[in-house]
Amino acid sequence: MLETVRVPPELEPLFATAQEFVGAYFRTLHADPAHGTIEVGGQRYILVRAAAMSVEFYATITQLYSDQGEAEARAVARGLLYDLAHAIGAADARAFHHSLDLRDPLAKLSAGPVHFAHTGWAHVSILPESQPTADDQFLLVYDHPYSFEAHAWHNSGQATDFPVCAMNAGYSAGWCTESFGIALVAVEICCKAMGDDTCRFVMAPPARIEHAIATYLHGTPALARAATRYEIPGFFSRKQAEDELREREVQYRSVFESVTDAILIVGLDGQVVAANPAAGRLYERSHADMVGLNLQEVTAPPSHSLVTQQSIAGYGNGDIRGEAVGMAASGRVFEVEFHATAFSYQRQPHILVLVSDISERKRAEAERLQLQEQLLRQNERLRAELSLARTVQQSLLPQRVPWNPQHLAVGSRSLPASVVSSDFYGYFALADGRMLIALGDVAGSGVAAALTMALTISAIESQARLSPQPGACIGALQARLQEQLQSCDMFVSLLVVLVDLQNQQLWLANAGMPAPLLLRAGRVEELWSYGVPLGVGAGGAPAELHAELRPGDRVLLVSDGVIEARNAYGELFGYERLLASLSARPPNETPEQLLENLFAQLATFASTAEQHDDLTVLALQPGAAELR
């Protein structure tokens, strides 16, 4: 018959065996007051007054932690008792398991409650809802109707509004953890010290304890209304907290010693109480030499006002950032950036100062500003040069034709891709009444292109008077300009057109420009003539192309920028679009109207896409009276 424990019927045989063995063990109890010993089964025991480990222990801890409030003091006492009892329970379990050679988890468990009863802790009653299995579904629901802790509180006459049986919970959790080989935690949900009928506990793995309690109380509504003041203990929480604290200290020390910026911990009197290795390197002092220094000893005189005792005290009132001049042990001075903030060190107010050497940054900034100033001056010179080149270029391009426009109307439109265009054109009236028109493109842009353009236009003007036939003119220009162009690694594409209205003739020669287009009776004809640009290869006179002019004819001269204009998708405007656009134009359009419509279509096609070459077009239209 079980006397020391109460369990469900299916567990009674196992616990009866445990009762027999543990009872025999305690019958060997021998007290020897002469030597101050109590032994049971060869193991030494001690007697401890119950109140000293319960109600009186709480009173002592509450007094020690009174500055932190009663609730915190009570939590500390409960935690200490739980962790201490947990360790005792685990140790007793290991000793019994070894002496009785127990292997089965339930057999290991069975000795615990019996031992508990013989040592005067409490009588254990395991309830049927229990499921003691060595897995995460472990559940033990049990009562301690005669808990020594609840009894001590009751006898003291003190009322309590919290469960007091922390040692009972800790000991049983420690014994079961050792028996089943899994982490377990026990929570007292009812306590006789609070006026409940019994001291009831729920034990489960830590990750499931809250769920286990909630599930159990859900099945016992009457108990659930009363069990509202239980607390779940942390398993050896103080040990864990100490480990975490030590780990944080190691991490802090690692950061403190490894960062590249200097870190100083300074008292409100300006004395350095701690410094990291980077501070020693910055100020050329050992760690021992840094500690005890006043901040004025590592600050150059121009910045002493920043490290007076009054200034340092002010740093404790906020987050201060600034710049100063530091001074190393060798007397070397350097510019620093500091960040000072209030800091508690060894429970006393201090200032944490982060110091960065910004000398190199300052030098780099000065160099950057100097280079920026030089760049601004260079940009100003370049803008002036470009403005001059633009002025020169605009002065070279004709504003009107040097003949009666009713004889030969010429429309011109040029859209440069940069400040200074590389496209150019010129009109030349010959003494015999013929007219010479030139359109060219210098390979390049900017000032160099403008100067080359001026050189080429001047050469064309003088050459037109000597040999106006387009082929001969280009051949002569090739010979005349080749050396100069090759010396500056440039070349010029050139188209020369000679118009003889009296004989209704047109001649042209082409040195690398797109083919001119003849608009006649709603059709567009390409006038092909081939030659190499000026300055490329040996050169020579290109072949001429001859065409008759008829009433209503219009001739378009275009630069390659028109053909190669691109949209946002990278598509070229191309010859096909150009020919289609011109074919659709009415025959009565003036050259200016023709150009206006063409450039509107180019703008729509290109949209916001940036163009990388100049767009230039000349439109020629002989007067109706000149062609019969």
Per-residue model confidence (pLDDT) at position 10 = 93
130 and 214 part of one domain: yes
229 and 266 part of one domain: no
Which amino acid does the sequence have at 221? P
Counting every residue, how long is the chain? 628
Summarize pLDDT for 324-370 with one digit per residue, the tens.
888 899 989 889 888 888 888 877 888 888 988 888 888 888 889 99
Task: Residue 179: give its domain's CATH number.
Answer: 3.30.1380.20
Is residue 322 included in any domain, yes or no?
Answer: yes
Per-residue model confidence (pLDDT) at position 233 = 65
End-to-end CA distance of the chain: give it in Å, rounded. Answer: 143
Which amino acid does the sequence have at 255? V
Query: In whole angstroms, what is the distance from residue 276 CA to residue 260 CA?
Result: 9
Angle between helices 70-100 and 105-118 (to 10 degrees): 120
Residue 2 burial (C-beta neighbours within 10 Å; 0-12, 13-18, 19+): middle
Is residue 187 included in any domain, yes or no?
Answer: yes
| List of residues 6+ apart from 543 with CB closer than 8 A | 471, 509, 529, 530, 531
Is residue 388 included in any domain, yes or no?
Answer: no
422 and 568 part of one domain: yes
Question: Order of strands across the sheet with 492-500?
Answer: 423-429, 435-442, 492-500, 505-511, 545-548
Is residue 320 included in any domain, yes or no?
Answer: yes
Query: In whole angstroms, what is the distance from residue 87 CA to residue 140 CA?
Result: 19
Task: Residue 276: give its domain's CATH number.
Answer: 3.30.450.20
276 and 317 part of one domain: yes
Per-residue model confidence (pLDDT) at position 445 = 65
Per-residue model confidence (pLDDT) at position 148 = 93
| List of residues 6+ apart from 378 with CB closer than 8 A | none
Per-residue model confidence (pLDDT) at position 307 = 77
529 and 589 part of one domain: yes
Query: In whole angstroms, what is the distance from residue 441 CA to residue 457 CA?
Result: 11
Task: Residue 581: give its domain's CATH number.
Answer: 3.60.40.10
Residue at token pair 């740093």: 315
217 and 311 part of one domain: no
Query: In whole angstroms, what is the distance from residue 106 CA to residue 129 CA?
Result: 16
Instruction: Give the three-class secondary structure for 23.
Output: helix
Domain membership of residue 318 as a residue range: 259-357
DSSP-assigned states of every residue in 270-331: SBEEEE-HHHHHHHT--HHHHTT-BGGGGB-GGGGGGGSHHHHHHHTTS-EEEEEEEE-TTS
Query: In whole angstroms, what is the distance from residue 126 CA to residue 138 CA?
Result: 14
| List of residues 6+ apart from 379 with CB closer than 8 A | none
Is residue 434 included in any domain, yes or no?
Answer: yes
Summarize pLDDT for 197-221 with one digit per residue, the tens.
999 999 999 989 999 999 998 888 7
Collect the ranges in the chain with pLDDT lower than 50.
235-237
**Which residue among 208, 239, 270 closes a domain?**
239
272 and 197 part of one domain: no
Residues 507 and 545: beta-carbon distance below 8 Å: yes
Angle between helices 105-118 and 12-26 (to 10 degrees): 50
Is residue 247 included in any domain, yes or no?
Answer: no
Say whether pTM exceeds 0.85. Answer: no
* Alpha-carbon distances, residue 58 vs 73, 119, 428, 623 (angstroms): 8, 22, 116, 120
559 and 459 part of one domain: yes
* Alpha-carbon distances, residue 142 vs 7, 122, 489 (angstroms): 9, 11, 101
Catalogue the long-range contacts made by 355-361 (C-beta closer than 8 Å, 24 or more residues apart). 355/261, 355/262, 355/263, 355/264, 355/279, 355/282, 355/326, 356/261, 356/262, 357/262, 357/282, 357/326, 358/323, 359/334, 359/335
501 and 402 part of one domain: yes
Tell me how many domains the chain contains. 3
Per-residue model confidence (pLDDT) at position 623 = 87
213 and 330 part of one domain: no
Is residue 76 included in any domain, yes or no?
Answer: yes
Per-residue model confidence (pLDDT) at position 123 = 93
99 and 217 part of one domain: yes
Is residue 548 included in any domain, yes or no?
Answer: yes
101 and 232 part of one domain: yes
**Which residue among 357, 374, 408 closes a domain?**
357
